[in-house]
Amino acid sequence: MADGTIVVCDALRAVGESLAAYLARDGLTVAAVVAAAEELLDAVAEYQPTLVLLDVAVARRYPGRLLAALNRTGSASVLMLGPVTATADAAEALRDGLQGWVPHRASGDELLEAVHAVRRGEFHMPPELVVGALRSTAMRSTTMRGTSMRGTPMHGTATSTDSARRDGSGATPARFGDADGATADARIAALAALGDRERTVLACLVEGMDRRGIAVRLRISENTVKTHIGRILAKLGAHSMLEAAAIARAAGLGDPAP
């Protein structure tokens, strides 16, 4: 990996070149400026940069998950450029390890602040976009689970008939994660199953921190953080850190005190 190098990818090459020039004036090294996903993947494979500055328009045009492809090509952090209304794009990118987002309205100083933050291993994203991405993920998860519940029950999931036999009421008890059963009580019960350290790690996820940032704050190794996150996902029935954070927010974790 070329230490400290950056690859800039913007759908408009002239814009990308302007961004590269601006970064260079701050002493940052830009290895390449590209305008398409295929060019970006080639540049990342060749230069192995530490950071990719990526226009969301390029990611949208790629026939698949561009960040996932980048992860297979190198280990660069990705800082995306796009509107703060692009919540679905942000949610998908976060699932693939997005490290930050710079809104189109950002000033040059704000861009530099985001670049330096991500290069330090910090997570950088406008709060309104984080909230929107969490909501998008929660809605997607609820829809997917509701669809699966209408079909054949998954392994380990009780049918309404089995539930009726157990409680004698003929009604199916609410289960955490059902389309209409993810009640506050169920969320609280799931969160209560977490250990003290797991709750601390989950609170960090709600703040938008990545594994590296959590490790630094809690003074533990990234592998230990990874273990805690794995246990959190298992206990909450979540499929990603973003979904776990959405569940915690829905249950009130991270909300300001009244």
CB atoms within 10 A of CB 147: 10
Tell me, what amino acid is at 181?
G
Torsion of CA 143, 126, 218, 97, to 10 degrees: 60
Q: Are 6 and 30 in contact, with CB atoms under 8 Å apart?
A: yes
Please provide the DSSP assignment of 182-201 as one string.
Answer: --HHHHHHHHHTS-HHHHHH
* Beta carbons within 8 Å of 217's beta carbon, 6+ residues apart: 204, 209
Q: What CATH code is assigned to 5-125?
A: 3.40.50.2300
- Residues whose CB falls within 8 Å of the CB of residue 232, separated by 6 or more in sequence, listed in order: 194, 198, 201, 202, 205, 238, 244
Four-way CATH pick for 176-250: 1.10.10.10, 2.40.180.10, 3.40.50.300, 2.60.40.1180: 1.10.10.10
Q: Cβ distance 57 to 86 under 8 Å?
A: no
Give the number of other CB atoms < 10 A from CB of residue 46: 14
| Alpha-carbon gap, residue 41 to 19, rounded angstroms | 19
pLDDT for res 77: 93
Neighbouring-strand partners of residue 102: 81
Angle 239-145-154 from CA coordinates, rounded to 5°: 90
Tokens 């309104």, residue? 128
Q: What is the DSSP letter of 83?
A: -
> Which pLDDT value is given to residue 8?
98
Q: What is the pLDDT along the chain (258 residues), one digit of tens a residue?
A: 556 799 999 999 999 999 999 999 999 999 999 999 999 999 999 999 999 999 999 999 999 899 999 999 999 999 999 998 998 998 888 888 888 999 988 999 999 999 999 998 888 888 778 777 777 766 655 555 555 445 444 333 333 333 333 333 333 322 333 333 444 555 666 677 778 888 899 989 988 888 899 999 999 998 899 889 988 887 887 778 887 888 888 766 654 433
In whole angstroms, give the CA distance from residue 133 to residue 138.
9
Q: Model's pTM, two decimal places? A: 0.58
**DSSP alpha helix (H) spans, the chain:** 13-25, 37-47, 56-61, 66-73, 87-95, 108-119, 127-150, 160-167, 184-192, 196-206, 211-218, 222-236, 241-250
Cβ-proximal residues to 227 (8 Å cutoff; 6+ apart), any chain: none
Domain residue ranges of the chain, discontinuous segments joined by +: 5-125, 176-250
For the packed helices 37-47 and 66-73, what is the interaxial angle rounded to 10 degrees? 20
The Cα–Cα gap between 148 and 152 comes to 7
